Structures are given as structure tokens and as C-alpha cells.
Structure 1
Amino acid sequence: MKLVEEHGVPLKFTYLPQISNNIQRAKTWFADAFKKHDYKGKYHYCYCTKSSHFKHVLDEALTNDIHIETSSAFDIDIVRALKKEGKITDKTFVLSNGFKREQYVTNIADLINSGHKNCIPIIDNYEEIDLLSEEIDGKFQVGIRIASEEEPKFEFYTSRLGIGYKNIVPFYKNQIQDNKKVELKMLHFFINTGIRDNAYYWNELHKCLKVYTALKRICPTLDSLNIGGGFPIKNSLAFDFDYAYMVDEIVNQIKLVCEEEEVDTPNIFTEFGSFTVGESGGALYKILYQKQQNDREKWNMINSSFITTLPDTWAINKRFIMLPLNRWHDSYERVLLGGLTCDSDDYYNSEQHTNAIYLPKYNKDKPLYIGFFNTGAYQETIGGFGGLQHCLIPTPKHILIQRDADGNLKTRVFAEQQKSENLLGILGYEPETKVEAAKANSISKSKI
């Protein structure tokens, strides 16, 4: 409420200390598991930049001795900028995922040619080795991404990304084994649903480990396994996930399979995006008005839009923790939440497993404020931060919360709420200058 009183709503905030907190939690879980199982190998934490490319996020994350994973050509430009500032060095692993063409290949090659040997392109299709070889001077390392089988509920069976389980060993023999310019370092295993304690995940992990051990027997340079597909984050107050157990069991399973197949255990890389940055974000709104549309349905209208500020709520039906910020001890009522756009999909109508939201009763004389929490991953980039917004609803003011040198929390404004001239300029209109507006105003007054 102090933030609301100081900055107004709608308001987005990023609580930067939570980024470092989650990174250190994960590092501790892996360190404990390595020690318990006497695991031979190193652990490397990578941050997926696609979750949030903002400089303040990368600056905070990189204070924790981590590595990064990129997805596109412009990502490499961010890497260059971070290197100039000394935030990362040539020793930082840059894992370049995604389908690579033209500019992305060129940018990866430029980075490696400049001396960043720990930039490892993850091969996604059969042509990428040749494309990279044409532009990279000298020897370079690569990884291979496995095209995992998707969960049964998906509309397709196999991921479009990577190379199929059965094709990886033949691919290595055909394009890498006798290629003196290319060295295979990593096998990349990514599960779209993330790391979860279910039969599907453990089955896919075992299939991946069988491929790894088969490759390792014929490829001595292979020494790393990337278990991509991140941890889930809290989306309900009832959320319960035993992270430490999952890490312990993953490390245990990798060691057991490698011992059975009599190969050395690999270095383990993880790629955590949402887990890194998700819990740092929040969105605050005011209930503007209540509309009673029938005997049962009351619509609380927020002073912003879900489509523009929390796009995942309508695009993939994602749930976030939602709580009132004030009036906790008042009487509650069942409501639906609606956004300001004239779009029937601009609403939020359920919290976890129920089809209802309960909030303090609407009272026009007692303002009600609500917050959505753990919204730090993807929402700004998918929503098109700083660009056009649906129905021209402006992007909210965004503040950063961080600790100063003495450990005290401080806030600073990252971006003010979007203005009309920002949107008009993008749309090709010529916004009135202050001089023109003043002139027009004086003419209208003289006519009156």
C-alpha cells in the first residue's frame, strides 16, 4: 500500500533481491545433492534471457556467478553489451539455443571469433553445423538438442525443436565425429512442461540418459548434460513443490545410469528462466467500478487490462497469485475481474482450482486495491513493453525495488506510464507539439 500511495496504480514492480535469492537456493540444492551422492562433475546455473531481457534483471542475476542461454540474434548483442561493462567474461558460458539462420549464425560466429570460446551453439537441425563452420574461424564446440517426446495431452507427439532420440548418434557420426573443426561438448535435454515429479518427466530423463551414455562411449569430448526445462514457481498459496527432493533425485538418477553404463558422470547445466525472475514481479491495480450483470455475476473492473499487462492470463490461461492489498478484514463477495479493453477475453475469472474469486465487497467510498504476484517472467516482453497496446490502454508505470550498499531497500522509477504521444508516434500520427496546442487553444478562445 505504501507503493500505491507513493506511485499510484496501475503499477508494475520488480523486486530485484528475489532474483539472487532464487539463484542461490538452486545452487545450494545442487551443492547438497552433489555432496550427498559424491557426484563427480560441476554444476552450472544458466539464466534464460527470453524470460526477461531487461538490463536490471541481467545485472542482478549476473552478480551470482551464473551463465546465460540465448534464443535469437539480438540476444548476442545483449551479450556484447554485458561484456563491455564487465558483467560477463570469456569464461561465461553462452548457450545459444533456437533455430538459427543468417543473423543469429553471424552473431554467434562473431562472438566466438572475438575469443569467447565458451559460446556453445546448441544444434537444432541438420544444416546448422555447416552454416556455423562457414563463418567461425578455427575449432568450436557445440551441443545437440534432443527433440523430446511431448506429454500425451499435447496436440503433437514430438517437439519441433532439436533432433530426434534415434537420430542423434547417426547425426554425430555423419557430421561431427570426423569433423576436425567441431567438438561435441553437450547434450541438451529440454522438457516443455518443466521439471515435475511425474512418470512422464522421469521417463524422458531416462531416455535422454541412454542417448548420453551411448554418445559418450564414442565421443570422449562430450562431458556436459543440460537438463533444460525449468522449475515451476508458486502460482497459488496452496503451491507445494519439493525442489530439494527433485534436484537430489535427478542427480541420483544421472549418477546411477552412468555407473550402469560405465561412463563418467557429466557436468550438469540447468536453464532456469521463470524460476529465476518470475517471483520478482508484481502488478497492482485499483477496482474502479462494479457491474452487476445478472443475479449471480458481479464484475469488478480494474483500471488497466489483463490482455496488455498480464497476457498469459488469457493467452495460455495461466494463473498467478492474486490478493487484495487492503480491507482484508471486511466482508467478502464472489466476483469476476474485468479489464478496460472492449474485448470479451479481457478478464480473469479463476484462482487455481476454483471458478471464483473472492474479494472484499465493493464500496465506492472505500477504494479496493488488488495485486497479482510472481508475474516477473515473460509478461513485459509478450505484452510488447513500450509498444502498442490493445485498445491503446497505456503500459503502467514500472518501478524497481533493490538494496543499496547498506542493505536498505530503495525504489526507483524504471519507466513512467505510457503517454498518448508515445502511441501516436508508433502509429504514424504527428502528435501536437506544445506550441501547436497552445496556438490552437488561443484560436478557439478568440472564436468564443
Structure 2
Amino acid sequence: MNTKYIDLIDQTFDFPQEEFSLNNDNLLFHGIPLNELVQKYGSPLKFTYLPKISENIMRAKNWFSKAIEKNGYKGKYNYCYCTKSSHFQHVMHEALKNDIHIETSSAFDINIIENLKEKGKIKDDAYILCNGFKREQYIDNIGRLINSGHRNCIPIIDNYEEIDLLSDVVEDNFKVGIRIASEEEPKFEFYTSRLGIGYKNIVPFYENQIKDNDKVELKMLHFFINTGIRDNAYYWNELAKCLKVYVRLKKICPSLDCLNIGGGFPIKNSLAFEYDYEYMVDEIINQINIACNEAEVAVPHIFTEFGSFTVGESGGAIYEILYQKQQNDREKWNMIDSSFITTLPDTWAINKRFIMLPINRWNDEYERVLLGGLTCDSDDYYNSEQNRNAIYLPKYSKSKPLYIGFFNTGAYQDSIGGVGGLQHCLIPQPKHIIIDRDENGELTTTLFKPQQKAEQMLSILGYDSNNEPTYSHNGALNEQTIPSNG
């Protein structure tokens, strides 16, 4: 009778897979012996496998190169990394090894760009595309970057006031893009994205604010939809509408020669995941080619802003099953040594799925369980089928530790979870390990951040004795600066 966990996986999925394999009954991820990793560093832990970042960048570049050649496309392709997915230095350094460009979202992004330029990681001719709603500090920082000589910094205009605000801080002429406010999929609670300028208003906006403005040159049209790049009628319809705006603008604006189709490539969230990236890229290039040829305008250079696709599949998290609680005759709760709400917030906030597999004991019998986190919050649990089915894992045993891994978690989870800050119920942030390969292909591991300590949280909360506010004799609070992080 097939009752082992490995039997369950073999009957359900094609296994092993490109990134997952077994060594006896222990899981390997890209050849990384995860059980050895957790024995060395303990649990809970997060890790980043840097080579996967470069691998995905080169995959995308290859798909676009093939499509451009196949379709006789006359424009070039530029890969941008969307920094909001992960701002960490080790991520940025790895991505920038691959001759890419950068897309930013807020003011402090520009400080990171300047830091990377000083270190020689970003070239002077690299494109810096500045997206997002721009407050005063963001505007000032963009102006500083352009004024320093970085002429390929292109602010993507999000509202009607940004041209004037940028003109006040930029000393010379500068290039801009315009973001289209795409119409949302019918399931959304609103019809049009809050980001950008509506389809019908793009051409009037250009004619009123840019066409006769000697200081501003329109270089790029930016298009992105929240549901990402998917082979469905909604995506192709929105792309077609975008191309209609592009050809209308191109006919009256010769300087427009770039089309940014945003990000949105999905990443693997199941062992049964299927997505034909190569077909999608080929068809996007084909559709742009057809639209421009029919309108008798030059095809644009193509930009993408892949964030999750760049870094998501490089990340993982490992937890230990601490205890099993039998709450009724049907439900067994396996309690992890951390919290889903704080370490994988998308599982709680948007019911996002990640690949979940045990790290060890694949040859043991399995059972149906639920997974719970340590906080006293009823929402701190994970269900791999988003509330439809429970999870199967090797049977719990007090004498045989069980470790589980969540994979492809490298995008957004740390920044949304507030790494290094306060965590729900003061559950500490796990340690973070960086995994790389040396020139001989041998694995190397580095402790990037140790597990968060109580002293760090107390300092943030103001319990540091050096941060006590003082009062005057009449009870008024005297003004003083209280350090934010001790």
C-alpha cells in the first residue's frame, strides 16, 4: 500500500522537477541540501538563492531575443528590475550583473540608485524609470539624479501636475513617459486603475502640457495591468487599446519611441504550474508589430519591469513543526515555530499560494493537517488550496523533528512584513541566509541577518532607557529627538 509521502507526490505530480529533487528522503532545492542548512543555522530561517535571479533575467532576455528575430521586429528590448519587489543590496547586486535597467517607486529608491552608482554597479547610460505618485521628496530626488548628469532617468508621469513640479527642479531638458490608467478586470471593485492617466486623456494631455514645452520630451508610453501578463481576452484587449494610443501619439510625437509593457510574469506556485512564457512573449511582439505596421509607424523599443519574476523564485522559508494539536475528531493543527502573518504576509492578506513541501522524512507515512502560526490571531494559518483542501505532510512525531519549506517567496514578503521592525504579537523575524555559488560552482552560505532580538523591538517601542521623554515642572512635555531604532 502506497502510504509514504513520496508516494503521494509521485502519484500527484511529475517529480523530481528542475529545482526540486531528493537525496534519500531529504529535499534538495537547486541542489541545496535544505536539511543540512537547517541543521547548521536552525529554524525558523529565510534564505535567498542568488543564482536564480540571474537565471530568470537571462531566460526573459532570451525569450525576447528569439521573438524579435522570429518576427523581424526592428526595435530593441530592455529588461528593467522593479525594485519594490525586494530592495536588498544582495538582490540588486545580483540583478545588476546582467546588464539591466531599474524601475523605481518612491523617493528612497533614488537614494539606493545613487549608492549603487557610487559603487559602480549602475552605469551612467542605464535607464532609471521613475514610477508612482510623486510627492515632494520623490520629485526633488529625481531632479537631483537628472541634474547630476543621469540623462536616462525617465519620470513616468502619473498625474496632471507632475510635469510642472519636475520642471521646477530639473535644470535642463528632460525626458518623460506617460502611464496609461488601464481598465481593471471585471472582478475588481473599481473600473479604472488609480495609477496613470486615462486612455482618452493621453493625447490631450500631451498636446496641452508636452507638445509645445521645449523643456520636456515624451519618450515612453507605459502600460500595466494588475492581473499580469496572461493569455486571456482581458489582457489582449487592454494591450490592443494601449497600442491604439501608442500609434495615435507616435503620429504626432516623433520623439516617442519606447513602449513599457510593465511586469506581471507569473512565478511557479505549485508543482503543477504551467505557463508558456515563450509563446506569450512571441505573441506580444507579434501584436505590437502588426499594430504598428498597419498604422505605418515605427515599432517602439520594448521595456519590461519584472519584479516578482526576477526575485520571487530565489527565496524560501523553513519552519519546524513544534507540536500537533488535535482540536476535534477531524482537524489536526501542526504548529510552526513562527508566524505566517509576519513572515509570509501574502498568505494572510491575499490568500496567495506558495509551494510548500517537507524538508525531511519523505519516506514516512503522511496525514492530513492544517498549519497554524504562533500568534494569537485566528487568521494566522496557511492552507495550500486557499480554504478548499487541507495539507498533507509526514505524520507528526515528538521524537522525529519535521521541517517544512515554503518556496518562491522572494518577492515582497520581507518589505510587506516589515523586516527588522515590529511584528504581530512580537514574534521575532527569522534569521536570513544568503546562498550563492563560487567560481567553481560550490555552494556558499552567509548569515545576512540574525533572528530579531527582544532588545531591538523594545527599542522601537520606546522602552530604551535613553529614550525616556522629559517633562518640565508644570507637566509640559519638553521637545526632544527620540531615536527611532536605538
Tell me, yes or no, if the aligned pair for 2:104 and 2:110 is still in contact at 8 Å: yes
Tell me, yes or no, if the aligned pair for 1:186 and 1:225 is still in contact at 8 Å: yes
* Counterpart among 270, 286, 293 of residue 327 in structure 2: 293
> Distance in 2 between the 1:157 and 1:216 partners?
27
Any idea what the Cα deviations from partners look like across 1:329-363, whole Å, max 9, x if unmatched? 21111111000001111000233694211011111
Q: Does 1:400 align with 2:434?
A: yes
Q: Does 1:127 align with 2:123?
A: no
SS for the counterpart of 1:258 is helix
* Counterpart among 360, 384, 390 of residue 424 in structure 2: 390
Describe how 1:319-330 pairs up with structure 2 within 5 A: 319-330=353-364
> Distance in 2 between the 1:380 and 1:352 partners?
21
Tell me, yes or no, if the aligned pair for 1:421 and 1:431 is still in contact at 8 Å: no
What is the CA RMSD across the aligned residues, in angstroms?
1.0
Describe how 1:63-212 pairs up with structure 2 within 5 A: 63-212=97-246
> Distance in 2 between the 1:389 and 1:296 partners?
32
> Distance in 1 between the 2:360 and 2:438 partners?
28
- Code of the aligned partner of 2:284: I
Deviates more, 1:263-272 or 1:353-362: 353-362
Residue 409 of structure 1 and its aligned partner are, at CA, apart by 1.5
Tell me, yes or no, if the aligned pair for 2:356 and 2:384 is still in contact at 8 Å: no
Residue 431 of structure 1 and its aligned partner are, at CA, apart by 7.0
- Code of the aligned partner of 1:271: E
Q: Does 1:280 align with 2:314?
A: yes
> Distance in 2 between the 1:408 and 1:195 partners?
35
SS for the counterpart of 1:151 is coil
* Counterpart among 352, 357, 360 of residue 318 in structure 1: 352
> Distance in 1 between the 2:433 and 2:359 partners?
17
- Code of the aligned partner of 2:74: K
Report the counterpart of residue 275 of structure 2 in structure 1. 241
> Distance in 2 between the 1:353 and 1:325 partners?
23
> Distance in 2 between the 1:87 and 1:413 partners?
23
Report the counterpart of residue 32 of structure 1 in structure 2. 66
Q: Does 1:230 align with 2:264?
A: yes
> Distance in 1 between the 2:280 and 2:387 partners?
24
SS for the counterpart of 2:223 is strand
TM-score (norm 1): 0.95
* Counterpart among 76, 93, 108 of residue 42 in structure 1: 76
Any idea what the Cα deviations from partners look like across 1:76-101, whole Å, max 9, x if unmatched? 00000000000002201000000011
Tell me, yes or no, if the aligned pair for 1:142 and 1:185 is still in contact at 8 Å: yes
Any idea what the Cα deviations from partners look like across 1:27-47, whole Å, max 9, x if unmatched? 000000000011001100000
Residue 405 of structure 1 and its aligned partner are, at CA, apart by 2.9
Report the counterpart of residue 477 of structure 2 in structure 1. none
- Code of the aligned partner of 1:233: I
> Distance in 2 between the 1:257 and 1:238 partners?
35
Any idea what the Cα deviations from partners look like across 1:349-403, whole Å, max 9, x if unmatched? 2336942110111111111110000000000000001111111100001000012
Any idea what the Cα deviations from partners look like across 1:221-241, whole Å, max 9, x if unmatched? 000000013200000111000
> Distance in 1 between the 2:66 and 2:384 partners?
38
* Counterpart among 89, 92, 117 of residue 58 in structure 1: 92
SS for the counterpart of 2:361 is coil
SS for the counterpart of 1:212 is helix
* Counterpart among 381, 387, 391 of residue 357 in structure 1: 391
Q: Does 1:309 align with 2:346?
A: no
Tell me, yes or no, if the aligned pair for 1:236 and 1:351 is still in contact at 8 Å: no
Residue 74 of structure 1 and its aligned partner are, at CA, apart by 0.3
Report the counterpart of residue 444 of structure 1 in structure 2. none
Tell me, yes or no, if the aligned pair for 1:309 and 1:395 is still in contact at 8 Å: yes
> Distance in 2 between the 1:324 and 1:258 partners?
50
Any idea what the Cα deviations from partners look like across 1:79-136, whole Å, max 9, x if unmatched? 0000000000220100000001100000000000000000000000000000000110
Q: Does 1:337 align with 2:337?
A: no
* Counterpart among 403, 407, 415 of residue 449 in structure 2: 415
> Distance in 1 between the 2:383 and 2:303 partners?
38
- Code of the aligned partner of 2:37: L
> Distance in 2 between the 1:426 and 1:354 partners?
39
Tell me, yes or no, if the aligned pair for 2:428 and 2:453 is still in contact at 8 Å: yes
Q: Does 1:266 align with 2:322?
A: no
Tell me, yes or no, if the aligned pair for 2:131 and 2:155 is still in contact at 8 Å: yes
SS for the counterpart of 1:228 is coil
Any idea what the Cα deviations from partners look like across 1:33-68, whole Å, max 9, x if unmatched? 000011001100000000000000000000000000
Structure 1 residues 276 and 289: CA distance shift in structure 2, 3 A: same
- Code of the aligned partner of 2:148: S
> Distance in 1 between the 2:231 and 2:359 partners?
34
Tell me, yes or no, if the aligned pair for 2:421 and 2:457 is still in contact at 8 Å: yes
Unpaired runs of 5+ residues, structure 2, are: 1-34, 467-486
> Distance in 2 between the 1:279 and 1:229 partners?
15
Unpaired runs of 5+ residues, structure 1, are: 433-448
Any idea what the Cα deviations from partners look like across 1:204-223, whole Å, max 9, x if unmatched? 00000000000000000000
Residue 256 of structure 1 and its aligned partner are, at CA, apart by 0.4
Any idea what the Cα deviations from partners look like across 1:402-434, whole Å, max 9, x if unmatched? 1223332200000000011111111111379xx
> Distance in 2 between the 1:107 and 1:74 partners?
8
- Structure 1 runs (4+) greater than 4 angstroms displaced: none
> Distance in 2 between the 1:64 and 1:34 partners?
19
Tell me, yes or no, if the aligned pair for 1:122 and 1:142 is still in contact at 8 Å: yes
SS for the counterpart of 2:374 is coil
> Distance in 2 between the 1:257 and 1:185 partners?
19
